[in-house]
Chains A and B, each alone.
Chain A
Amino acid sequence: EAEVAQSPRYKITEKSQAVAFWCDPISGHATLYWYRQILGQGPELLVQFQDESVVDDSQLPKDRFSAERLKGVDSTLKIQPAELGDSAMYLCASSQTGTEQFFGPGTRLTVL
């Protein structure tokens, strides 16, 4: 069964450092999402791609976060510099139909 891949699974960093997360969506899925999930809460959308284009980044803190999907396949989310409040699970999801979204295992970020 096809799955969304994410790496790393866990990342510990110190504040002010740069971190990057990688996502490989299910093959053929044109829509890719990055969500942030704070412990004890539901996921919240950070950025959405349709192929290589950003269609929604209204909740992305653009002063420190950036995301790209250069060839319309895999994607990278970067934080620079990381802050204590960025500690969370970062989830990638993909969709073929634009409706059903399938999530990867996530990257657990801890900022010290």
Chain B
Amino acid sequence: GENVEQHPSTLSVQEGDSAVIKCTYSDSASNYFPWYKQELGKGPQLIIDIRSNVGEKKDQRIAVTLNKTAKHFSLHITETQPEDSAVYFCAASKGGAQKLVFGQGTRLTINP
């Protein structure tokens, strides 16, 4: 089955700097790649996603890139703010109501 690896496990950046989190997946049939933000004591919140027919997607300060050949995708956060501090999870699925397989998470800390 699908296996998703995420790194780094922790990331600390200065406010205003950029943060990058990377994920790799194993199943070439996966075609949907969402990113979730999880704050302490809350459920994961969908922040951006990308499908396999697109190489890059941007939403304000957040962008995701996908390299299908290499089977990896990345989350880029620019101009980081303290409220960006949270645990971020990448995931992969084959779409069409298939289950999400999650990475292990990255704890992002924004230092003021």
Contact = CB atoms under 8 A, between A and B. Distances in A.
Interface of A: 4, 6, 31, 33, 40-45, 48, 50, 55-56, 91, 95, 98-106, 108
Interface residues on B, range: 20 to 34
Contacts, number: 59
Interface of B: 4, 6, 32, 34, 36, 41-46, 49, 89, 91, 93, 95-100, 102-105
Contacts of A4: 43
A95 B99 CA distance: 11
Given A99-B32, A99-B97, A103-B36, 5 more contacts: A43-B100, A44-B102, A101-B100, A103-B44, A108-B41
Contacts of B105: 40-42
> Which of A44, A103, A104 has most B Cβ within 10 Å?
A103
B47 to A, nearest CB: 12
Given A41-B104, A42-B91, A42-B104, A101 B46 contact: yes
Contacts of A95: 97
A98 B93 CA distance: 11
